[in-house]
Amino acid sequence: MAGGALPRRTRVLVIGAGPVGLVVSGLLSQRGIANLVVERRREARRAPAAHVIRRRPMQILAGLGVAAEIERARPPLPLDFVTWCATLGGVEVGRLDLRPPDPASGERGPEPWTNCPQNLLEPILLRHAARQPQASIALGTECTAIEPGDERVSARVRCDDGSERRIEAEWVVAADGAASPTRRALGVPMQGLGPLGRFLMVHFEADLSPWIEGRSGPLFWILNPESPGCLIVHDPRRSHVLMLSRQGGEDEEETLPGRLSAALGVPLTPKILSVDSWSPHVQVAARYREGRCFLVGDAAHRFPPTGGLGLNTGIQEARELVERLARVEIGREEPALLEGYEACCRPAAQANADESFGNLKRLGAIAGVIGEARDLAALEKRLASLTAEQRGRLADAIEAQRSHFLSDGRLLD
């Protein structure tokens, strides 16, 4: 959408076209509320990023009418196990069964969540939002300034053709991610811990199905001391991400093919598609509202990925905020109703931040049982020499991770 096509006024300006911002737009359109979404990126995300959609958020997406498309798009990956191993192709340390068979029937229970990577989910939500007559979607359009007022908010945006426009909105929803320029412009600080480290997300293409079949699942925790990390399986035959600690140095990306091969330990050469750096935080915005502007999703909170609660919390916040906005805009209820948005959502976000941090810390218990090893050979020797008592403690440490992968976190009422 070129600058000249942008509306000068809208009832709700949504800043950010990630999954949460697009859910906000879709829900507003569903209630007949005109909205404009601006996003500085010119296309949907290409790397997988978030991938876990839990039950309550999936119900919200089903209410939008996109559940069938998500089901068709998601990769063929049964969510049976989370596995710990020396390397993907090497010694297996243990597994957590996410769907234990029923003792009577022997049948597995339902999958605990929907595995749909963000690079597949986001285009679905973008297409849905763009089809709604109440919505205007402006990609390649960056919000560069925001001026809250008593009756409306004035925003300045820069379009991909270089033009600048001023847009008046009755309400603004900031869904522009963890770095959120809008949050910073509004002067809302984050509270909590972080950064907790520096990591790399290596998105690569390879057919890993021969080493995944028989223990199908989304996560393989790699314990190889020479290249420890977490392998996230998005599509067994094509798309994966390896999370690695960042070592630093100008030539670090040159070391990634070797580190990736060391983590996999399988006879193939993966194709690296992209590399992104990130740092986990345990933070929640000091407030969720500044006048007529609201924070939602990662703009309002930053969780470690352990538990997959960030996107899921954001989708629930989107629904809560839109419900309240609709009751004020359409139902003509008192604007004071909007004060309850923060009271409802912020405690849940804090609880989910704390749970994610607890999951992160609890993972260390597994390495604690095994002990330190200087290299892969030493690790394999150590694993082979574990006593029965140590193997029992290792199994208990793995079982203790169950809530990490199966908890829905604090749900909104």
What order of strands is seen across the sheet that includes strand 301-302? 190-193, 282-285, 301-302
Q: How many Å apart are CA 101 and CA 223, to the nearest integer?
A: 28
How many CB atoms are closer than 10 A to CB 389? 8
Q: How many Å apart are CA 314 and CA 335, to the nearest integer?
A: 22
Q: Collect all residues with Cβ–Cβ distance below 8 Å to 59 and sequence separation of at least 6.
A: none
Q: How many Å apart are CA 350 and CA 313, to the nearest integer?
A: 10
Q: Is the pLDDT confidence value at 283 over 70?
A: yes
Q: Is the pLDDT confidence value at 104 over 90?
A: no
Q: Is the pLDDT confidence value at 1 over 80?
A: no
Angle at 360 between CA 359 and CA 366, to 5 degrees: 90
The DSSP output letter for 376 is: H
Lowest mean pLDDT among 51-55, 110-114, 247-251, 347-351: 247-251
Question: Where does the pLDDT of residue 49 fall: very low under 50, low under 70, confident under 90, or very high at 90 and above?
Answer: confident
Q: What is the pTM of this model?
A: 0.95
What structural domains does the chain harbor? 3-70+116-194+282-358 (3.50.50.60), 78-112+198-278+372-406 (3.30.9.10)
**Residue 405: burial class (beta carbons within 10 Å; 0-12, 13-18, 19+):** buried
Q: What percent of the chain has pLDDT over 70?
A: 99
pLDDT tens sequence across 296-310: 999 999 999 999 999
The DSSP output letter for 378 is: H
pLDDT tens sequence across 227-247: 999 999 999 999 999 999 998
pLDDT tens sequence across 110-145: 889 999 999 999 999 999 999 999 999 999 999 999
Query: Which residue type does 182 have?
Result: T
Dihedral angle sign, alpha carbons of residues 352, 68, 16, 150: negative
Question: Where does the pLDDT of residue 33 fall: very low under 50, low under 70, confident under 90, or very high at 90 and above?
Answer: very high
Give the torsion through C-alpha atoms of 57, 71, 271, 309, to 10 deg: 10
Question: Where does the pLDDT of residue 3 fall: very low under 50, low under 70, confident under 90, or very high at 90 and above?
Answer: very low
Contact at 8 Å (CB) between 216 and 78?
A: yes
Interval 336-347 mean pLDDT: 95
Closest C-alpha among 274, 281, 241 to residue 117 = 241
> Mean pLDDT across the chain, nearest whole number?
95
